Structure 1
């Protein structure tokens, strides 16, 4: 599958909002990562995604490398206790060599035995932020290398240039001058990004995001700062995903509180989410949110629905990580559909 065929469904909102990256990372059960890599945890297995050069493809045996997806997947695994040391070391060494002079990253396509740049990043802000978080998650022996020190300085400077001082948020890129909720939440999850976004008018990045992106009239989050957000037709991505994304990163200022927000989301979108894998993508990030919220039945339903599509056209490296996170916690697929098809689901809390 090519980057263009992925973009409308799974990459990011640029120009016309025709696709996510995303998340789909940090999917970030708070990938506020400064801790050393785990060495006694379950080991992340990226066979079929990571090759011998260190590159990590978006899909199993895929022909596309998007730094966003690989960084998101590794950070997600790390933040949930998986040992990412082997693929992370190789991936970091691979990617740092391919950072452009302006500190941004391209996407890559397989060209025979090599990976060649084939398209610019879907969104600079999120990729730069995830790269910073990833670098800080690595052992000192790697991040202290001269090339990494230079990269970190250049990345921080490039990201700071994307701040909109009038609104106190990050913009997608120098070309796309609007802010995206999910990008800003990913950046918020990495605390060192807060300072650059704050100024006298907007002294608190957390509060600024709550003000800019919460639509109090509709009691929903705005996907973007672009005009016309209230008139756009519903789509699971980006609309429904944006509503649950604050829970993924553990954003604290959720009106009504996280538990109520989660229950409402599941009541409205659970069936829609579980059906995505048939025609779109598996959206394992939502299963990670279910895990974080103690909703083990929904996580088990996702495994039942999604695992038959594992490594297929509707499965990304982030979905693979989500499945391994659940399995590392001895969460298994639901044995039947009894608790997986109710139209109005009230999630059970685990003890």
Structure 2
């Protein structure tokens, strides 16, 4: 697999507009800041140059942060992006925003608008702490914790000595394991809400949640990471590769596969989702995943390869 000394530039034509907004889907009419931040951070962490979009997106989004430090989702109204829904989960979105601003320390240091947003966002996140469980809650309205959201918050590393009221990273990691790991069933619960056993499991959120620890290098696993990954793939690979036919394509999993030394599964994803690109089954994170695989020399599996 080739090694690239210079990062490839991320290409988001059809997603990013001239003002810096980034839509969820190709030529889409909806923006969810969560997915734009997820995509940009994933690209940067995997060797793509996000500079053509990073500052413009930050400037676009910071202007739309609400007084309470949260963000909305936005729909196109003619030439205007207007708020149309509240965020799906404030905790993960605000944490990813902080993490994203931290990727541009020089700009953050000299940009007072970004600095004020950063301080406001830390305060917002601190207000979502569940003082009893020691994890983060979805929002002031939805007073429960989500496993995947808390992993995303954990991936944000507050600056040491910052004097913030956020949870200690090591304690948060331990609390996530304590609260969400079901010892009897030997899987992670997706939520602190009761009654999960009575609900039929689905790929999202139940099955994909089991893979999220690998995406964020969560070290409280029942086995070593590679064994854990192989067990997940053995159980869910076929289901994952079929998702693009009826749901989303879940390119995040292909990135995890490559990170775990499994380029075959990543190649299978490229083959099985070829028809989904730029359709309603493809989001900006999938486009980034495709470009990460290309940057790292992964191509679509040939017809002779079994992807079952």
Q: Under TM normalisation by the shorter chain, which class is it? A: over 0.9
Alignment partner of 1:55: what SS?
coil
Give the Cα separation in 2 of the matches to 1:68 and 1:337.
Answer: 38
User: Using the alignment, how far apart are the partners of 1:254 and 1:77 within structure 2?
Assistant: 25
Q: How does 1:1-351 map onto structure 2 within 5 Å?
A: 40-192=6-158, 196-198=165-167, 204-336=171-303, 338-341=305-308
Rounded to whole Å, the distance in 2 between the matches of 1:337 and 1:173 is 48
1:87-145 deviations in whole A, cap 9, x for unaligned? 11110110011111111101100000110111111110011000000111125135531
Aligned partners of 1:196 and 1:129: how far apart in 2? 14
Secondary structure in 1 matching 2:209: helix
Counterpart CA distance in 2 for 1:249 and 1:319 is 17
Q: Deviations over 1:196-247 (max 9, x none)?
A: 4547xx9711111111110000000000000012222011000111010101
Structure 1 residue ranges without an equivalent (≥5): 1-38, 342-351
The Cα RMSD (Å) is 1.8
TM-fit CA distance, 1:338: 2.8
Taking a change above 3 Å as real, the CA distance of residues 50 and 168 of structure 1, as seen in their structure-2 partners, is same
Q: Number of matched residues? A: 302
Contact 1:77 1:84 in 2 (8 A): yes
Distance 2:139 2:233 in 1: 33
Q: What SS does the corresponding residue of 1:119 show, helix, strand or coil? A: strand
Deviations 1:286-334 (A, max 9, x none): 1011011111100000000112211111000000000000000010000
Task: Tell me the TM-score normalized by structure 1.
Answer: 0.83
Give the whole-Å Cα distance in 1 for the aligned partners of 2:110 and 2:220: 36
More displaced stretch, 277-286 vs 204-213: 204-213
Q: 2:188 touches 2:209 (CA, 8 Å); kept in 1?
A: yes
Q: Which residue of 2 aligns with 1:34?
A: none
Q: Is 2:102–2:108's contact at 8 Å kept on the other side of the alignment?
A: no
CA distance in 2 between partners of 1:336 and 1:248 (Å): 29
Over residues 31-50 of structure 1, what are the superposed CA-to-partner deviations in whole Å (9 max), with x where a residue is unaligned? Answer: xxxxxxxx941000000000
The aligned residue for residue 26 of structure 1 is none
The TM-score with structure 2 as length reference comes to: 0.94
